[in-house]
Amino acid sequence: MAVYTDISEAELIAFLKQYDIGTLLSYKGIAEGVENSNFLMTTDRNSFILTLYEKRVDRCDLPFFLGLMEHLADKSVKCPLPIRRKDGEAIGQLAGRPAAIIEFLEGMWPRNPQASHCREVGRALAQMHSASQDFQLERANALSVGAWRPLWEMSSARAEEVERGMAAEIENDLVELEEGWPVDLPAGVIHADLFPDNVFFLSDRLSGLIDFYFACNDLLAYDVAICLNAWCFEKDGSFNITKGMALFDGYISVRPLDDAELEAMPLLARGAALRFFLTRLYDWLTVSNDAKVVKKNPVEYLKYLRFHRRIGNVGEYGYRGVE
Amino acid sequence: MAVYTDISEAELIAFLKQYDIGTLLSYKGIAEGVENSNFLMTTDRNSFILTLYEKRVDRCDLPFFLGLMEHLADKSVKCPLPIRRKDGEAIGQLAGRPAAIIEFLEGMWPRNPQASHCREVGRALAQMHSASQDFQLERANALSVGAWRPLWEMSSARAEEVERGMAAEIENDLVELEEGWPVDLPAGVIHADLFPDNVFFLSDRLSGLIDFYFACNDLLAYDVAICLNAWCFEKDGSFNITKGMALFDGYISVRPLDDAELEAMPLLARGAALRFFLTRLYDWLTVSNDAKVVKKNPVEYLKYLRFHRRIGNVGEYGYRGVE
C-alpha cells in the first residue's frame, strides 16, 4: 500500500501539458506497489497509471525499465505501454520525482491462483524471455547470488529473533549456492519479481504483466525458479505439483528448457527462495512499523527453502517435458 | 490512506451478480477515506467506487447515509448516486462486511483551495441543506456539544504532552460552549465533515460532494462553521477573510442565514474547532503508529480555536450579507 507523495491538481495539469492524452478528469492514489507512488488517472480519452518513482528506485534504471516495457509491448507481450511525451521522452519530473505515465491495463491479479493461472504465467514468462532477446539495454541483477551474503550479514546478528537455530542452515545454503551456482545457462532479460500481484487476468485469460522494476539481465531459468516459489506453494506451505506441471507446460510451450537448465532447477529454486527470504528478513528486522509498507513474514520463504533442499530433480516440481 | 480488507476476484464477481452493472474489468484499492476500504472498480459499462464498511461505521447508519446520497442526487445536488442491486437493496455483504457500490464521480479535490472554491462549496452546502429538508430519516450527531466533554476526558490526562498549559483553556471552552450552545437555530441534515478532500472540482466547477459518513441532523449554521474551519485558514494558521467572504456569499446565494444564526457563528465556529481538535487529539494519543491512518496534528485546530475566541461578530469572518 503506497502513496508516498501527494500531488496537487495544478502541478498535475502542468505536467500533463507535456503529453497528448486529453483533459484530466480524476486521479486517485492507489494502494498497489510498495516501491513507488501510484495514481489511477482518467482523462476524457482514457485511463492511465501515473507513477512517481521514490528513492528506492534508481532513476538511472528508468530507461531500462520503461524501454523494456515498450519493447515487449511492441512484440505483443501483454504488458502496459509507457506513454511518451510530445517531445518523445517517456520519463518526466513531477513533485521533485521522476515520473512516468503508463497505459492502464484491465484485469485483476489472482488472490487464489489456480493451475490454469500458472500455465498462463509460464507461457507469458517464456514470451517475455523470447521477446527480450534483442532488447539492447542491460541491467545487472543487484540481487543475484553475489548479493546474498552481504544481505545476510546485514541481518544475521538478529536473524534468530525470527527463528532460533536458523543461522547455521542459512550459512550452509550460502556456501552451497555460491559454489554451485550455474554460470553458463541461457541468459537474457528476466522479470525477477513475477508474483501473483504482478499478473493480471480477465477471467482465466492473462491480460498482462506489470511492475518491471526488478527486471534485469540474468539466467532465464532463474526467473522460472522464482515463479515456482511465487505461484506453486499453497498457503499452508505445501508445494502443489499440479501447479508446477502447469507452470512448466506453459513455459515450454513457448521456449523449451535445455538439459542444463532442467538440471539446475532445484538449485535455482533454492536460490530464489533464499533471495526473497533475505530481503523479507531484512525488511522485517529494519523497516519501522509505521512505514506504509506491509511487511511480509520471512518464515514463509524459510519453509520453501527447506523444501527445495530436499528436491532431487526437476520432475519433482512437476516438469514432464514436451508430450 | 486505507484498504483494510482485500477481496478476491471470485468473491467480487459473485457479489456483482446481484447488480446489473456489467462485467468486471478491474478493481484497485484506493488510498482515500480513513474509515472504510475503498476500491475503484471498472466494468465494461462504467466506473464505480466499491466501499466495504469497516468497524468504525455503524451498519445501522448505512440506510441513512446511502438514502441521503440518493435523496440529494434525486434533487440535483451534486453527489454520487448509490447503485441499487437487482432486488432494490443498496447495501450488501462482501468479505464479511457491509458493502455498497457508488457511482464514480469525476473531479479532483483541491489541495490548495482558493476563494473561488470556497464560493462553490458554500453554494453546494446550502443546496444540500435545502434539498434535505424533506429527507425522512434521522440520525443524531454523535459528535455534537454533548459529546465533547466525554471525549476530552478520554485525552485530558495526556493532553499536555501535545502542548503544556492547554488543559485549562480547553476546560474553559467546554464550560462556555456547553452553556452558550444555541438550541433553536434552523436544523436539518448537515454533512458535518465537508473538508477539501470531500469536495471534487473539474477546473473551477464543483463536480460533487462525497463521503457522507458523518452526516447527521444538527444546526445548519454549524455546518457552515465547520466549513469556515476546513476551508478558510491558510497553512500557516492565519484566517483568510477573502475565502470567508466567498464561502458566505456562496451559501447565502441559495439559503439566507437568519439573525440568530449569524449571531451564533463565532460560537459555532469555536465549537467546530473544538470538535475536530478533540477527535484529532484522541487519535494522536491513542492510534498506534503502525495503523494505516495518517494522524493529523491536533495543534492546527488549537490555533483555530484561539482565533475564534477573539472573534466578536460574523463580519470578522467575512460575512457581508446580501448585496
Residues B195 and B130 in one domain: yes
Share of chain B above pLDDT 70, in %: 96
CA separation for the pair B48, B58 (Å, rounded)? 23
CA separation for the pair A145, A125 (Å, rounded)? 21
Q: Is pLDDT of B45 > 50?
A: yes
Mean of pLDDT values over B82-107: 95
Domain that holds residue A41: 9-103
pLDDT tens-digit profile of B18-37? 999 999 999 999 987 667 89
Which residue from A8, A47, A107 is facing B111, i.e. has the nearest CB? A8
Which residue is closest to A39 within chain B, CA to CA?
B30
Instruction: Please indicate, yes or no, if residue B169 is contained in any of the structural domains.
Output: yes
CA distance B210 to chain A (A): 14
What residues contact residue B235 under an 8 Å CB cut-off, 6+ apart? none
* Residue A273 contacts residue A240 (beta carbons within 8 Å): no
Looking up residue B139, the CATH number of its domain turns out to be 3.90.1200.10
Mean of pLDDT values over B40-54: 95
Q: Which residues of A168-188 are buried (b: 16+ CB within 10 A; e: fewer)?
A: eebeebbeebeeebbeebeeb
Enumerate the residues of chain B whose CB falls inside 8 A of the CB of residue A108: 9, 12, 24, 26-27
The confidence score (pLDDT) of residue B35 equals: 78
pLDDT tens-digit profile of A136-155? 999 999 999 999 999 999 99
Enumerate the residues of chain B whose CB falls inside 8 A of the CB of residue A201: 9
Which residue from B42, B108, B292 is facing A9, i.e. has the nearest CB? B108
Which residue from B10, B12, B29 is facing A112, i.e. has the nearest CB? B10
Instruction: Please indicate, yes or no, if residue A33 is contained in any of the structural domains.
Output: yes
Domain final position from A60, A76, A103: A103
Residues B157 and B296 in one domain: yes
Residues B66 and B186 in one domain: no
* Residue A220 contacts residue A128 (beta carbons within 8 Å): no
* Residue A191 contacts residue A124 (beta carbons within 8 Å): no
- Using DSSP bridges, classify how beta strands A37-43 and A24-29 pair: parallel, antiparallel or unpaired: antiparallel
Residues B90 and B155 in one domain: no
Confidence of residue A1 (pLDDT cuts 50, 70, 90): very low
Cβ distance of A30 and B32 shorter than 8 Å: no
Long-range contact list for B89-96, CB < 8 A, 24+ apart?
A: B89/B18, B90/B63, B90/B66, B91/B59, B91/B62, B91/B63, B91/B66, B92/B15, B92/B18, B94/B7, B94/B11, B94/B12, B94/B15, B94/B50, B94/B52, B95/B5, B95/B6, B95/B7, B95/B11, B95/B52
Residues A183 and A289 in one domain: yes
HSE of B65, CA atoms in CB hemisphere, 13 A: 24
Residue with cell 498462463: A120
Domain final position from A51, A80, A103: A103
Q: With the C-alpha atoms ordered B194, B196, B201, B205, is the resulting torsion angle positive or negative?
A: positive
Instruction: Please indicate, yes or no, if residue B2 is contained in any of the structural domains.
Output: no
The confidence score (pLDDT) of residue A5 equals: 84
Instruction: Please indicate, yes or no, if residue A186 is contained in any of the structural domains.
Output: yes
- φ, ψ of residue B277 to 5 degrees: the values are -60, -45
Q: How many domains does chain A have?
A: 2
Residues B90 and B207 in one domain: no
Instruction: Please indicate, yes or no, if residue A76 is contained in any of the structural domains.
Output: yes
Which residue is closest to A114 within chain B, CA to CA?
B10
* Residue B195 contacts residue B125 (beta carbons within 8 Å): no
Residues B22 and B120 in one domain: no
The confidence score (pLDDT) of residue B80 equals: 95
Residues A138 and A284 in one domain: yes
Domain final position from B103, B135, B152: B103
Q: Is pLDDT of B212 > 50?
A: yes
Q: Is pLDDT of B1 > 50?
A: no
Mean of pLDDT values over B272-298: 83
Let me know the angle formed at the C-alpha of A222 by A38 and A32, rounded to the nearest 5 degrees.
15
The confidence score (pLDDT) of residue A155 equals: 92
Q: Which residues of A touch B (CB under 8 A)?
A: 1-3, 6-10, 12, 24-32, 40, 42, 47, 104-108, 110-112, 200-202, 288-290, 292
Q: Is pLDDT of A57 > 90?
A: no
Residues A141 and A28 in one domain: no
Partners of B219 in the β-ladder: B187
Residues B183 and B54 in one domain: no
Residue with cell 457491509: B98
- Using DSSP bridges, classify how beta strands A92-94 and A47-52 pair: parallel, antiparallel or unpaired: unpaired
Residues A136 and A268 in one domain: yes
The confidence score (pLDDT) of residue A20 equals: 97
Mean of pLDDT values over A112-139: 97
Residues B147 and B195 in one domain: yes
CA distance B27 to chain A (A): 7
Instruction: Please indicate, yes or no, if residue A2 is contained in any of the structural domains.
Output: no
pLDDT tens-digit profile of A174-214? 999 999 999 999 999 999 999 999 999 998 899 999 999 99
* Residue B231 contacts residue B113 (beta carbons within 8 Å): yes
Let me know the angle formed at the C-alpha of A321 by A126 and A198, rounded to the nearest 5 degrees.
30
Q: Which residues of B touch A (CB under 8 A)?
A: 1-3, 6-10, 12, 24-32, 40, 42, 47, 104-108, 110-112, 200-202, 288-290, 292
Looking up residue B46, the CATH number of its domain turns out to be 3.30.200.20
Instruction: Please indicate, yes or no, if residue A158 is contained in any of the structural domains.
Output: yes
Helices (H) and strands (E) in chain A, counts: 9, 9
CA separation for the pair B72, B132 (Å, rounded)? 7
**How far, rounded to the nearest angstrom, does the alpha carbon of residue A202 sit from its chain's CA centroid?**
20
CA distance A100 to chain B (A): 19
3-state secondary structure A24-78: EEEEEEECCCCCCEEEEEEECCCEEEEEECCCCCCHHHHHHHHHHHHHHHHCCCC
Confidence of residue A323 (pLDDT cuts 50, 70, 90): low
CA distance A140 to chain B (A): 32
Cβ distance of A112 and B30 shorter than 8 Å: no
Q: Is pLDDT of B263 > 50?
A: yes
Which residue from A1, A106, A289 is facing B26, i.e. has the nearest CB? A106
The complex's ipTM works out to: 0.81
Considering chain B, what is the average pLDDT of its residues?
93
Confidence of residue B294 (pLDDT cuts 50, 70, 90): low
Instruction: Please indicate, yes or no, if residue A3 is contained in any of the structural domains.
Output: no
Mean of pLDDT values over B291-311: 86
The confidence score (pLDDT) of residue A6 equals: 86
